[in-house]
Amino acid sequence: MNTTALIYLLTAAAVFGIGVHGLLQARQVLRQLLAINLMGGAIFLLLITLGGGAVGPPDPVPQAMVLTGIVIAVSATAFALALLLRLQDATGTSELDPNDGA
Amino acid sequence: MVHEALIGLVFLPLLGACLAVLPGRFGTRLAIVVGLASLPFLLLPVTLSVLREGAWFYTLGGWSAPLGIRLYVDPLALLMLWMVALIGGLAAAHAWHDFRPGTAAGERFWPLWLLLTAAMNGLFLSADLFNLYVCLELVTLAAIPLIAMAGSATAVRAAMRYLLLALLASLAYLLGVALLYNSSGTLDLYLLPDALATAPAPVTAFALALIGTGLLLKGAVFPLHVWLPQAHASAPGPVSAVLSALVVKTAIYLLYRVGLWSLPAGLLADGAMLLFAVLGAGALIYGGVLALLQDRLKLVIAYSTVAQLGYLLLALPLASLAAWQALTYQMLSHGLAKAAMFLAAANILHAIGSDRLSDLERLDQRTPLSLFALAVAGVSIMGLPPSGGFLAKWLLLEAAWRGGQWGLLSVLILGSLLAAAYVFRVLAAALRREDPSEAEDAEGISAIGRRQATYAMLLALLALVTGFAAAPILELMATGIPPTWGAA
Amino acid sequence: MNFGWQALPVYVVLTSVVTGILIFALGEARQRMRTALNLAGALVKLILILVMLLAIQTGASFEFRMPVLPGLDLLLHADRLTMLFATLSALLWLVTTVYAIGYLEQSPNRARFFGFFSLCVAATMGVASAGNLFTFFIFYELLTLATWPLVVHRGTPEAFAAGRLYLTYTLIGGVLVLVGLIWLTALAGSGDFIVGGTLAPIAAGNEAALRGIFVLLMLGFGVKAALLPLHSWLPRAMVAPAPVSALLHAVAVVKAGAFGLVRLIQDVFGFELALALGLTDLLTWLAAATVIYGSVLALRQSDLKRRLAFSTVSQVSYIALGVATGSALATIGGLVHLVHQGMTKITLFFCAGNYAEGLGVHAVEELDGLGQRMPVTSVCFTLGALGMIGVPPLAGFITKWHLGAGAITAGAPWVVAVLAASTLLNAAYFLPLVHRLWFRPLPATMAARELGISGRRLQALVGPTMIVAMLALFAGLLAGTPGSPLFWAQRMIGDPA
Amino acid sequence: MTLQETIAAVLLAAGCLFYIAGTIGLLRFPDVYSRLHALTKADNLGLLLVASGLAVQSGSLRIGAVLLIVWLLGLLAATVSCHLIARHALHATPPERRP
Amino acid sequence: MIEIAIDLIIAMGVVGLALQTILGASVFRAILMFIVFGLLMAMAWARLHAPDLALAEAAIGAGITGALLLVTWRRLQAMDGRTPRVGIAARAPWLSIASGIFAAALIVALGWVSLSLPAEPAAAGELAWQRLPEVGVSNPVTGVLLAFRAYDTLMEMGVLLAAWLGARAVASELRPGALPGPAHAEVPLVGALLSLVVPISLLVAVYLLQAGGSAPGGAFQGGAVLAAGGVLLCLSGRLEAAERSSITERIGLVLGLAVFSCIGLVMLFMGEPMLAMPGVWAIYLVETALLLSIALTLVLLFAAAPGLRRAP
């Protein structure tokens, strides 16, 4: 295994884990969204590194997947932020109570 | 012609959505006709071709499989597509009155609804793991605003929670797909089993675990169901109907596709199926008990969905023809019955302004047709004859008995007794008379209310009819049995 | 599938379904239309049944088969046993409908009542004409569903409590039947109902399984047939309106259970096999115990309807007793009791309803001297009571004679002792009522009490009561003539002589 | 090492030096205004040096032109954003505590 | 060696910024950290020989997402306190510990699994290289996006449209006046900046679009750059929220999806497979439509409004 690939694979794994932790323990929805975006970034990094990016032009299929993924991520984030504004507007808080509805 | 029809199933709703975004009442109406009313007519030739020639692939853009994306239509996909066309269509007819084209609410509602329809059709047809991810995201992002459209703080909160968990689920799925792509070299679901045969087993297991977790979360399978009850209960009526009848099924459908079509048979598959069965049993019992404890009608129905989804997983270890027929038939009959219940509940909520069980007394006087629809659909949910739900449960029980699965058998029975308890609890609340001498008051129900009740009743009647006309559907399903379960 | 002449049983079922749906659709207000529909539905059904009856006499057969699941058909047919039950139901439904129209005049929710009433009869017809156990089960469960709204009809907390109990028993009973049925299907497929049963060829080696299936099905049917110890829902369900009680007791629910037991022994297992497996003894003992237990408890009830309810618990078990005892005579006794008990008990319930509606009388003590206030009703009541006790030549006597004689030929003389004890107990709880009606002075308060209902309505109640009383009377008096229930039952079993 | 490369190396090194200086200023200076002062001045020059270094290294006029545009845009963005930050800081401070 | 060092620095920076994003003391700080995270990711893409992604990450991942996050944060700040706060139970401390342990286990598992995989292009990727000449463009990413996996791209446009529709639907239910006005209206220097930057963003967008066929770039990157220009116009108050979207805006929103589908359908009815591209011109046509839709949708999402109009 090429060292660059090793570095970025471990980075991806670490960022994904950090994102999961952030999502699970954060209280504000905004932070949870950041965590989700981190996880997405980690997956993209993993895809490209595994696609051979460390040694030369990476596999174009994962590149296209990542591009699609980035646009989907921004779409989902944008909608989530709009919903968050509505949440603040309707409930007076931008946090979700972990105890209701479960 | 049949290829055009297949493409139309995805693209007509999609173009309909574009059309509905454009201003004006006429565009939206046309969009609904083009995108929704056309679906049964498109499905007819496709169904005939599958009946005649069996399942087939369509290669998009002419780029053949590991490189390009294929569509795959087989009996299971057909069943789901018909459900989208019928249940989605009747729910749309119901929604027509609350979100009239031309009004501000209608302008917001219909493009999303059409996108949701396109996304579900696309999802049921797609044979590509990454394309399925895109479809899943489209389903999520089209469905959640529809929930929030109910406007209440509860609905907004539920939508937010659903969104966060759905995004988490999608990411878990995507990570699994990323790993699978690299280990197998393909994204095509149906090329995967061969490609995975040489892939390192731990990677496959880990990737499938991620995909499975994501789908279980999206499918609201116990104990990952926490987002479902509030989201389904607080959405507008037709949206609740489609969410419970179709949207959660998309994840279950994918779970079947990945688990039964792409998973190489072996220890891994057996373990996964057993796990699914345990989760299903948990869902059935937990959902049933919780449904019994709710004091709002729509929450009862929502928890009933949590419970009924359990049936869809419970029988997976049986791996027999009967079990397959039972699962697919449960998929259908639950969809019909649950959609009918949610539409009826919406009518009741609309008519009396509350869906608390304590406010439901004398419903047989106030909203007779909706109550009747609720009751008839309830029969199917309980699994009592004559109904599709009964046949599904019969098949499950028979499969369990033949397989000697006594634990499964007892869970099934317990589940259906719980279902009977919560359905009859609702019906009892609806027939109650606080004061027997109270004068009769046939409260005026608007013409719209009557029409909306008719849609609920139609769905309930379909649930009833599936209790008799099962043979052709089951024969078709038998030809679509997963390869790991037996020869077609 | 054949929807022609052969499918007549389907149309018999559909008549009531359509009636029910139309009644729901009409809504509450259109009373005359509803009455017309009710009567038309009942009449059409009766005519169809009579046509079928005649056709079967001339050797025709009816069968409708529709595949529902792989290897499982929805099968409706008409054999003699079907006709026995179907004719009884159709006849009594017509009368009960007339009675119910009068009984429920002024009361709320009549559309709902008559709608479910019709569905209930449709389910009963389905039970009667089911051609295999699968079809039987479908209608058996449908009956549960259609009856529940009738039981809770009054909408009071007591009604709902009774409804809950009813559901708990019948749904769990349904589950037992379902499990037994699944087991049976897995073992032997779904055999049609044929006299003598279809299981004999596979009995060897499967004795334990067959015993298990029999017990499950017996308990499942036993719930509706109110076999000990599964009977306690029945007296509680008395909170329902009188026509419902009549229907539950005489025609639909308990009879469906009893009918299921008959089918189980006669047409699924066959008596020989059931005997060989030692299963009939179990049922005989259970039925005998229920006969005595029901009578003893009836003796202790001071509420008229509850006394009648426990009487039903006791009397319905005669059917099971007869069929389980197994000799030709006893079987005839059991089968004919299906009809006789129906006619007699419905008479008694109508009378109880008349007392309650007319003078607000519910308790046994209040019957004193009522023969003077409500003579026709009281005559009918007396006829019914004597019929129940088994005074010759009334219907009950015919039954008991056949049962007793049959038990002796079957080598179970102890059953005769049970019958004797039961008869004494019957007398002990019915004769005092008759005594009160005719030989006790009418208390001044009762003499002064106004009739609670108009004369016209009273007539609407008394008319049907008279008709069922006549039916019960003639079923006994004319038992020897062709066309009587006894004649029919004898034809079915073959002449015992 | 050719002359071209040497010049490029010197320019890049000098650019980095300016960046370091600017960063130290950002970290060490006491208030918003002086921090901005350090940052914008030093960084703009640093950017110019790095850009010229790269242009020399590439030896292509076209790339040189593109790098010039990059520098100009950077200059513009830095100017406006510095102005906006300073303005915001000023408005956020109560008048009596303004410098 | 030096390259490894650069990789290590980027990797440590990425992980450190991710941690800061999660643990940052304030939400605002967390957002800033996330934006820097995005920029550093763009460098990682460059190191991984994926300049297309570097562009996209910088423009969309860091740029547009960052702008969206910041503006939402500001709006939330403005809305906070105007409605009664609901008390929210604090999360149990054990939950945090448990999630930490879970995340750590996940990192180990994921690291181990991914290290056991070959880091090289997979079968489908090889095929993409081989069949690229049939498409007519030389940038393989564009080939995959617009030809081999065009269906994904089309569905993705659906996702973008759904996001806007959803945002419009929920935003329309905000109480009137809930959103604060633009942040930097009437600052003198901003006007000068805009008069330069907005035309440049248009220029760059067009450049990226045409370059996409053979070099890094394409509709997504171009759309994001164009959107950035639009965002600036909104921020400076040149464009302001309108109650309803105009017909032009509506057409623009669905243009990408509609043009893409229609070309596909036309080909289908001419007997070709669905979504087969009739030529390179069609790819550029579709890309142009996509670019316009992407840019417009992103700007409208940023403005959280159904439509925009020029400020008076």
Structural domains of chain A sorted by starting position, each given as residue range(s) with its CATH number in brackets? 3-91 (1.10.287.3510)
Confidence grade of residue E85 (pLDDT, cut at 50, 70, 90):
very low
Using only the alpha carbons of chain B, give its radius of gyration: 22
Task: Say if the Cβ atoms of C69 and B391 lie within 8 Å.
Answer: yes
Whether A39 and chain E come into contact, CB under 8 Å, resolves to no
Give the pLDDT confidence score for residue E86 in this predicted structure. Answer: 46
The tens digit of pLDDT for each residue in B280-339 reads: 999 999 999 999 999 999 999 999 999 999 999 998 888 888 899 999 999 999 999 999
Rounded CA-CA distance C286/C314 in Å is 11
Helix (H, G, I), strand (E, B) or coil at C404: helix
Whether E211 and chain D come into contact, CB under 8 Å, resolves to no
Give the pLDDT confidence score for residue B300 in this predicted structure. Answer: 96
> Which strand (E) or helix (H) includes residue B434?
none
Q: Which chain E residue's Cα is nearest to A82?
A: E167
Whether E187 and chain D come into contact, CB under 8 Å, resolves to yes
Helices marked H in C189-278: 207-224, 233-236, 242-246, 253-263, 271-276
Whether A37 and chain E come into contact, CB under 8 Å, resolves to yes
Complex ipTM over 0.90: yes
Give buried/exposed letters for B302-315 (b at 16+ CB in 10 A, else e): bbbbbbbbbbbbbb
Average pLDDT, chain C: 86
Please list the residues that pair with C76 across neighbouring strands. C64, C130
Give chains near C: 3+ CB pairs under 8 A: B
Quote the minimal CA–CA distance from E203 to chain B in Å.
28
The tens digit of pLDDT for each residue in E286-296 reads: 999 999 999 99
Whether A19 and chain E come into contact, CB under 8 Å, resolves to yes
Whether E202 contacts E97, CB under 8 Å:
no
Rounded CA-CA distance B337/E45 in Å is 50
Q: Which chain A residue's Cα is nearest to B161?
A: A96
Contacts of E192 in chain D (CB under 8 A): 80
Give chains near E: 3+ CB pairs under 8 A: A, B, D
Q: Taking the CA of residue D41 as centre, how many other CA atoms within 13 Å lie in the half-sphere pointing to its CB?
A: 10
Q: Mutate which of E193, E195, E207, E232 to test chain D, going by most D C-beta atoms within 10 A?
A: E193
Q: Is-above-0.90 flag for pTM?
A: yes
Task: Say if the Cβ atoms of C69 and B474 lie within 8 Å.
Answer: yes
For residues A30-45, give the mean pLDDT: 95
Task: Give E 149-188 residues with CB within 8 A of chain A.
Answer: 149, 152-153, 156, 159-160, 162-164, 166-167, 170-171, 173-175, 178-179
Helix (H, G, I), strand (E, B) or coil at E244: coil
What percent of chain B shows pLDDT beyond 70? 97
Contacts of B35 in chain E (CB under 8 A): none
Confidence grade of residue C402 (pLDDT, cut at 50, 70, 90):
confident
* Main-chain phi, psi angles of C481, to 5 degrees: -90, 155
Structure tokens at C4: 């022609």
Give the pLDDT confidence score for residue B361 in this predicted structure. Answer: 82
Classify strands C62-69 and E239-242 as parallel, antiparallel or unpaired.
unpaired
Give the pLDDT confidence score for residue A97 in this predicted structure. Answer: 67
Amino acid at D64: G
Give the pLDDT confidence score for residue E176 in this predicted structure. Answer: 74
The count of domains in chain C is: 1
Quote the minimal CA–CA distance from E15 to chain D in Å.
22
Contacts of E189 in chain D (CB under 8 A): 79-80, 83-84
Q: Does chain E reach chain D with at least 3 CB pairs under 8 Å?
A: yes
Instruction: For residue C450, give its domain range.
Output: 278-497
In a domain, C321, yes or no: yes
* Main-chain phi, psi angles of B70, to 5 degrees: -115, 155
In a domain, C253, yes or no: no
Give the pLDDT confidence score for residue A94 in this predicted structure. Answer: 80
Residue recorded with tokens 């919560």: B422
Q: Which chain D residue's Cα is nearest to E184?
A: D84
Rounded CA-CA distance B13/B22 in Å is 14
Q: Which chain D residue's Cα is nearest to E185?
A: D84
Give buried/exposed letters for C63-80 (b at 16+ CB in 10 A, else e): bbbbbbbeebbbbbbbbb
Task: Give A 41-60 residues with CB within 8 A of chain E.
Answer: 41, 44-46, 48-60
Among B67, B164, B226, whose Cβ lies nearest the Cβ of A102? B226
Give buried/exposed letters for B218-238 (b at 16+ CB in 10 A, else e): bbbbbebbbbbbbbbbbbbbb
Rounded CA-CA distance B145/E301 in Å is 14
Task: Say if the Cβ atoms of B141 and E163 lie within 8 Å.
Answer: yes
Task: Give D 25-84 residues with CB within 8 A of chain E.
Answer: 73, 76-77, 79-80, 83-84
Rounded CA-CA distance B338/B291 in Å is 14
The CA-atom distances, in angstroms, between C262 and each of B453, C144, C258, C338, C475 are 43, 19, 6, 10, 21
Q: Does chain E reach chain A with at least 3 CB pairs under 8 Å?
A: yes
The tens digit of pLDDT for each residue in E256-279 reads: 999 999 999 999 999 889 988 888
Counting runs of H as helices and runs of E as strands, what totals does chain C give?
21, 2
- pLDDT at C496 > cutoff 50: no
Give chains near D: 3+ CB pairs under 8 A: E
In a domain, C191, yes or no: no
Give the pLDDT confidence score for residue E186 in this predicted structure. Answer: 66
Task: Give B 206-235 residues with CB within 8 A of chain E.
Answer: 206-207
Rounded CA-CA distance E61/D78 in Å is 21
The tens digit of pLDDT for each residue in C215-272 reads: 999 999 999 888 888 888 888 887 788 888 887 766 788 889 999 998 888 888 888 8
For residues C9-26, give the mean pLDDT: 88
Give the pLDDT confidence score for residue B443 in this predicted structure. Answer: 54
Whether B187 and chain E come into contact, CB under 8 Å, resolves to yes
Give the pLDDT confidence score for residue B366 in this predicted structure. Answer: 83
Among C27, C174, C182, whose Cβ lies nearest the Cβ of B397? C182
In a domain, C111, yes or no: no
The CA-atom distances, in angstroms, between D60 and each of B28, D50, D52, D57, D69 are 56, 15, 12, 8, 14
Least confident of B253-267, C210-224, C427-441: B253-267
Average pLDDT, chain D: 86
Angle, nearest 10°, between helix axes C110-129 and C133-151? Answer: 160
- pLDDT at B478 > cutoff 70: yes
- Between E223 and C271, residue with greater pLDDT: E223
In a domain, C194, yes or no: no
Residues 6+ apart with CB under 8 A from D76: E193, E196, E197
Q: Which chain E residue's Cα is nearest to B180?
A: E117
What percent of chain E shows pLDDT beyond 90? 51
Quote the minimal CA–CA distance from B180 to chain A in Å.
10
Amino acid at C455: G
In a domain, C140, yes or no: no
Rounded CA-CA distance E17/B331 in Å is 46
Task: Say if the Cβ atoms of C175 and B409 lie within 8 Å.
Answer: no
* Main-chain phi, psi angles of C78, to 5 degrees: -135, 105
CB pairs under 8 A between A and B: 91
- pLDDT at D1 > cutoff 80: no
Whether B396 and chain C come into contact, CB under 8 Å, resolves to no
Task: Say if the Cβ atoms of A21 and E173 lie within 8 Å.
Answer: no
For residues B347-375, give the mean pLDDT: 88
DSSP B72: E
Counting runs of H as helices and runs of E as strands, what totals does chain B give?
22, 2
What percent of chain C shows pLDDT beyond 70? 98
Q: Which chain C residue's Cα is nearest to B419?
A: C171
Say how far residue E211 (Cα) sits from the centre of its chain.
19
Contacts of A9 in chain B (CB under 8 A): none
Please list the residues that pair with E310 across neighbouring strands. E239
Task: Say if the Cβ atoms of A34 and E84 lie within 8 Å.
Answer: no
For residues B136-157, give the mean pLDDT: 94
Q: Is C403 left (phi over 0), alpha (psi -120 to 50) or beta?
A: alpha
